[in-house]
Amino acid sequence: MWHRFVTALLISLLTLTSALLPAAPAHADDCTLTAIVWEGYTDSSFAEQFENQTGCMVKATYAGSSDEMFAKFRAGRGRTYDLISASGDITERLYKAGLVRPIDTSKLTNYDTIFESFKGGKWNTFDGKPYGVTFAWGPNVLVYNSEQVSTPPTSWDVLFDPEYAGQITIPDDDDRRCGAVVGQR
């Protein structure tokens, strides 16, 4: 089921690549879908099915962080990548930089199967228009060193415990910082 959904999403996104970028699609002449994604987002188990159904190849470039993804996409200036699988922490930056265009969701044949809570989110909707389609999410995990912390944390409250002042690291992005604060309340 998941593989069929992702394949359908890839097929739908291929039809939208011209709407995603201000310039012409990167490889309009050779039917190659070039994407900058997180590793695993173009897994062969569904990318091959997409390639067989459409005759278009999927060429993925992986990024290790949202900042790297943004930098690579911006450097391509709409000519290197057809698609970006951006996390919510950089979609506004992509929008403000003029690197993406609104998506016509009426062209997505499987849009009705996406969770309603994923539609119209502040992370990818600007001026009332969707600039991305959320289809997956990931956790913000709390990791600790069991050799240094004898009692496993049971909540985000541990981040505010004076005992650990100056010993905590949180990624420098609003989603994770806000998540930690909200989780604590």
**Per-residue pLDDT tens over the stretch 126-183:** 999 999 888 777 777 788 889 988 889 888 888 888 988 888 877 666 555 555 555 5
Q: What's the average model confidence in pLDDT over 88-96?
A: 89
Per-residue confidence (pLDDT) for residue 128, from 0 to 100 = 92
Same domain, 44 and 125: yes
- Same domain membership, residue 159 and residue 126: no
Give the model confidence (pLDDT) of 5-23 as tens digits: 444 444 444 434 333 333 3
Return the pLDDT at 180: 56
154 and 75 both lie in a single domain: no
Looking at the structure, tell me whether residues 95 and 158 fall in a common domain: no
Q: Going along the chain, which residue ranges are E strands?
A: 32-37, 57-62, 83-84, 125-126, 129-130
Same domain for 106 and 181? Answer: no
Is pLDDT at 63 greater than 50 in this prediction?
A: yes
Q: Which domain holds residue 12?
A: 2-130
Domain-located, residue 11 = yes
68 and 145 within one domain: no
Q: Is residue 19 part of a domain?
A: yes
Domain count, the chain: 2
Specify if 47 maps to a domain.
yes
Looking at the structure, do residues 120 and 39 belong to the same domain, yes or no?
A: yes
- Specify if 135 maps to a domain: no
What confidence score (pLDDT) does residue 17 get? 37
CA distance 59 to 32: 7
What's the rounded Cα separation, in Å, for the pair 100 and 18?
10
